[in-house]
Structure 1
Amino acid sequence: MKIYDAIVIGAGYAGLTATRELLKAEKDVLLLEARDRVGGRVYTKYYDDGSYLDLGAAWVGPTQDKIYALAREFGVGTFPTYDEGKSTLYFNGKVKHYKGIIPPLPIGSLLSLDFAIKRMNKLSKTIDLEKPWDSPNAAYYDSMTLATWMQKQMSFKTARIMFKLAAEAIWAADPNEISMLHALFYTKSGRDLDTLINVKNGAQEERILGGASLPALRLAETFQDKIRLNSVVKNIIQEGELVKIQGEGFEFVAKKVVVALPPTLAGRINYLPIMPANREQLTQRMPMGTVWKTYAIYDKPFWREAGLNGLSATNDGFTTVTFDNSPKDGSKGIMMGFVLGNQAKAFANLSEEERRNSILDSFAKFYGEKARHPITYIDHSWATEEFTRGCYAGLMPTGAWTSLGKALREPVGNIHWAGTETSDIWNGYIDGAIRSGERVAREILG
């Protein structure tokens, strides 16, 4: 049987990058992907009329140098997220439109919110990104949830509500699901909280022209013959110096294997010998976030005519954050609403019609009655995707980083781990996935 130098499992940005780097080193590589497409959690749905929707990751921003470099290499452009005009706050049954990034809240709540953001940024600077468990006070921050810390920091209820909305948008999880140490790690990984929240100079600054899948598709074209789609890996068997990869109707052998999957999916593969206890425990303790993306498509972005930028926040209903996702030329109006964390879990219990009515009802509260009548409505849940099981990324609950964090990237024999969850920079983002692919290739090449 042929022996590959390396087999990579998972053709998201991490797996594609690892494959490319190993091929550059003239290694014989095979990339296996369970789906019928590449891209993983980045999925652009293309329509016959040339339009497209990013149903997964969509934005890029400053210091995400790896995704920008990849896009440039393949002639893929970017364009600014539309944010001209006023943002919208729907709070306590009232609509308020405002300029800039500061929402119109009572002064006490604003000061409390500002203090908490600055405090979190300051604390995040103390985190060791490569070894979060070695950070000062790591055990203390890992013993509490982000929600517990918020309660201690902010005496104003309105400030806590606004911070919670931001946290849900950043992690696609309720603050009570996340360790404070993980929140601090993730914040520093993406520079600071302001960067993670903002459009201008933030993680939502730009979108990829032609869809976020395009750089992945172009990269995959350069080694198409090395990719095998519709190949669900069931077993990974280490025997001596070699590793067997098995699935329905196939078996391959390699010297090295890269598992470029979220930890919860990596944990669903059968390993022989079984994984070390800490690695096994880690994959049990890293749930994915929960998010739906909802889209309403209109013949034009009518909210712009009213001087609104499509950015809104609310603590009412299922969708708590919206963005203008219209194409660069504004030829259609595309309003995108996130349903996040616990709202996303409840949203999953609704029928398609109930989901649609709920979202359009929220859009109408923000942008008027026109919002109730889109040409098309579409929503997408990542929790029901068999080969994802949630989004944006795997999360660390209390205690996980300090007791099991070392097992996240540590190779097991000839098995190596990649994926955005293993990245120390831009963890949870496309850029982090690319960085993890480069890191794992360096690991293998020595």
Structure 2
Amino acid sequence: MQTYDTIIVGAGYAGLTATRELLKAGKKVILLEARDRVGGRVHTQHFEDGSYVDLGAAWVGPTQDKLYALAKEFAVETFPTYDTGKSTLFYNNKLKHYKGLIPPLPIGSLLSLDMAIKRINKLSKTVDLKSPWNTPDAAYYDSMTLATWMNRQMPFNSAKVMFKLAAEAIWAADPNEISMLHAMFYTKSCRDFDTLMNVKNGAQEERFVGGASLPALRLAETFKEHIRLKSVVRAITQQDNQVIVKGDGFELTASKVIVALPPTLAGRIEYAPIMPANRDQLTQRMPMGTVWKTYAIYDTPFWREAGLNGLSATNEGYVTVTFDNSPKDASKGIMMGFVLGNQAKAFNQLAPEERKASALDTFARFYGEKARKPLKYLDHSWAEEEFTRGCYAGLMPTGAWTSLGKALREPVGNIHWAGTETSDIWNGYIEGAIRSGERVAQEILKS
């Protein structure tokens, strides 16, 4: 039986970062990954013609300093998300093109929407990021959903519709699934609501030349002899200050183990002794968001010729938000559509041809009949993947932060927890994953 200082489970950005930090400190480390690749919820798919799409996380933006530093270290270039020209809104059976961030709504709705965004920003500033349960009035905000709060804030239906579209795009969940305290925590974790929504000076500001997997792949290459792919961890046993990690065809021991998985997946490993009640309850209470990415690849980004930037929104159909995901050199036109929350759950039930027809219908509604004839169409759901079961991240429903939140990062014996869900800064993003990897490595080095 091989023995290590630390065994790390999960080779996403969190697990890769923790591995590097511990190797730097001279520790004997092995990183176990269930898939046949590293990167976790970040996966760039390449095609024979040289084009590529990010099936998972894709963007980087201001204050995501750890991710920018990693990209720079491994010579991965970034480029601005295309947003030159007009955005598109299809609402109440009307197609409208507009400049700027705010869609064309009646003045009452606009003011109502603006006020709600300002209020969530103001409320989020009160959150204790390291201990959200210590936030003023935490129990009150944790007892209501984001949907309840929205409905109280906005008397105008069109304002509610637009806020809901933004919320679904931010959390990949219906606002009725999320605790208001979690919405406040997440908003502050990622600066503010404006940052979460925006391209310029926002979370969607830039993309990676070659795809968002590239920094992970290049980092992994520097210590590939310490990574084992296709190694599914089934059980973790703690005994006599040692931890035994078992999987199909392997059994390893270490002084410490880092589980760098979404909480719901961490909860599916068999532990001995069993997890404390609050830790297990927490992993039962943190569902993943639900999202499909739909992609249509064309010869050119033809919508740009019409002065459109590829950013669009609608509350009709399955695809409700689109982005221009064309490469930096615009050698192909790549339109990406998000199917989010409850729409994604319904989309799960459709046959592949129905999904394609629906997505292309929406693209054609926004960008004309040419959008119906892509060179290639593909879509991807992380909820279908055995070793993810949803995206973007694990979410806190009502009551979870205040009753069980302490169990999210608290080590259990010699088992420590990482992953973007455990990060207090840029929770839910690649940046948060990297930060969690650094935090957990320090936790182990100090223990």
Alignment correspondent of 1:423: 423
DSSP-derived class of the 1:294 partner: strand
How far is the alpha carbon of 1:108 from its aligned partner?
0.3
Alignment correspondent of 2:33: 33
Alignment correspondent of 1:407: 407
Alignment correspondent of 2:329: 329
How far is the alpha carbon of 1:48 from its aligned partner?
2.1
DSSP-derived class of the 1:102 partner: coil
Mapped partners of 2:378, 2:236: distance in 1: 38
Alignment correspondent of 2:18: 18
Deviation per CA, 1:379-400: give whole Å up to 9, x if none.
0011000000000000000000
Alignment correspondent of 2:136: 136
DSSP-derived class of the 2:183 partner: helix
5+ residue gaps, structure 2, are none
Alignment correspondent of 1:319: 319
DSSP-derived class of the 2:383 partner: coil
2:357 is aligned with 1:371: no
How far is the alpha carbon of 1:49 from its aligned partner?
2.2
Alignment correspondent of 1:183: 183
How far is the alpha carbon of 1:102 from its aligned partner?
1.4
Mapped partners of 1:356, 1:444: distance in 2: 47
Deviation per CA, 1:308-331: give whole Å up to 9, x if none.
000001001100000000010111
Deviation per CA, 1:324-349: give whole Å up to 9, x if none.
00010111100000000000000011
How far is the alpha carbon of 1:51 from its aligned partner?
1.4
How far is the alpha carbon of 1:47 from its aligned partner?
1.6
Question: For residues 31-430 of structure 1, what are the structure 2 equivalents within 5 Å?
Answer: 31-430=31-430
DSSP-derived class of the 2:130 partner: coil
How far is the alpha carbon of 1:2 from its aligned partner?
3.1
Structure 2 counterpart of 1:111, one-letter code: L
Mapped partners of 2:67, 2:360: distance in 1: 33
Deviation per CA, 1:161-197: give whole Å up to 9, x if none.
0000000000000000000000000000000000000
TM-score of the two chains, using structure 2 as the length reference: 0.99
Mapped partners of 2:254, 2:48: distance in 1: 41
How far is the alpha carbon of 1:240 from its aligned partner?
1.3
DSSP-derived class of the 2:83 partner: coil
Mapped partners of 1:248, 1:354: distance in 2: 38
Mapped partners of 2:359, 2:46: distance in 1: 23
Mapped partners of 2:93, 2:331: distance in 1: 32
Mapped partners of 2:220, 2:53: distance in 1: 20
Deviation per CA, 1:42-91: give whole Å up to 9, x if none.
00001222211100000000000010000000000100000000000000
TM-score of the two chains, using structure 1 as the length reference: 1.00
Mapped partners of 2:226, 2:106: distance in 1: 58
Mapped partners of 2:140, 2:200: distance in 1: 34
Deviation per CA, 1:222-260: give whole Å up to 9, x if none.
000000000000000000110000011000000000000
DSSP-derived class of the 1:383 partner: helix
Structure 2 counterpart of 1:284, one-letter code: Q
Aligned length: 446
Mapped partners of 2:272, 2:31: distance in 1: 21
Alignment correspondent of 2:4: 4
RMSD between aligned residues: 0.4
Mapped partners of 1:55, 1:225: distance in 2: 27
Deviation per CA, 1:197-231: give whole Å up to 9, x if none.
00000000000111000000000000000000000
Structure 2 counterpart of 1:291, one-letter code: V
Structure 2 counterpart of 1:150, one-letter code: M
Mapped partners of 1:139, 1:2: distance in 2: 47
Mapped partners of 1:50, 1:7: distance in 2: 36
Mapped partners of 1:367, 1:48: distance in 2: 27
Structure 2 counterpart of 1:323, one-letter code: F
Bigger mean CA offset, 170-179 vs 48-57? 48-57
Mapped partners of 1:67, 1:49: distance in 2: 28
Return structure 1 stretches of 4+ with deviation > 2 angstroms. Answer: none
Deviation per CA, 1:285-316: give whole Å up to 9, x if none.
00000000000000000000000000001001
5+ residue gaps, structure 1, are none
Structure 1 counterpart of 2:12, one-letter code: G
DSSP-derived class of the 1:112 partner: helix
Mapped partners of 1:408, 1:251: distance in 2: 26
Mapped partners of 2:421, 2:409: distance in 1: 9
